[in-house]
Amino acid sequence: MRYRSLKKGKGFAYYVTKEQIREYMKLSPELKLKWLEEANEFIWKYGKNKEIREKFREGEI
């Protein structure tokens, strides 16, 4: 999955393949919510560091 930031206030763009969706659909709702929780907690803790934030967004972390 690739995320791309747009100009400030313009949101973001992303792309996911059918295969990525197929895999993610297999997770239970609890696991999907947990994935979101962990990702958001990570961004909240370390998101002020631009390098880490960008690496996370690009899927490198």
Partner 1 sequence: MYEDVFRELYKNKVRYIVVGGIAVNLYGVPRMTADLDLMVDLEKENVLKLVNILRSLAYVPKIPENPENLANQEKREEWKKKNMKAFTFWNTKKPYKQIDILIENIMDFDEAYNRREKVKAEGFEIYLASIDDLIEIKRKSGRKQDLCDIEALKKVRDLRTM
Q: Where do contacts with partner 1 occur on this chain (CB under 8 A)?
A: 1, 3, 6, 10-16, 18, 20-22, 24-25, 28-30, 32-37, 39-41, 43-44
Minimum distance between the CB of residue 10 and partner 1, rounded to whole angstroms? 6
Between 13 and 54, whose beta carbon lies closer to partner 1? 13
Measured distance CA(22)–CA(32) in Å, rounded: 13
Residue with tokens 């990702």: 39
8 A C-beta contact, residue 14 and residue 1: yes
Minimum distance between the CB of residue 5 and partner 1, rounded to whole angstroms? 10
8 A C-beta contact, residue 2 and residue 14: yes
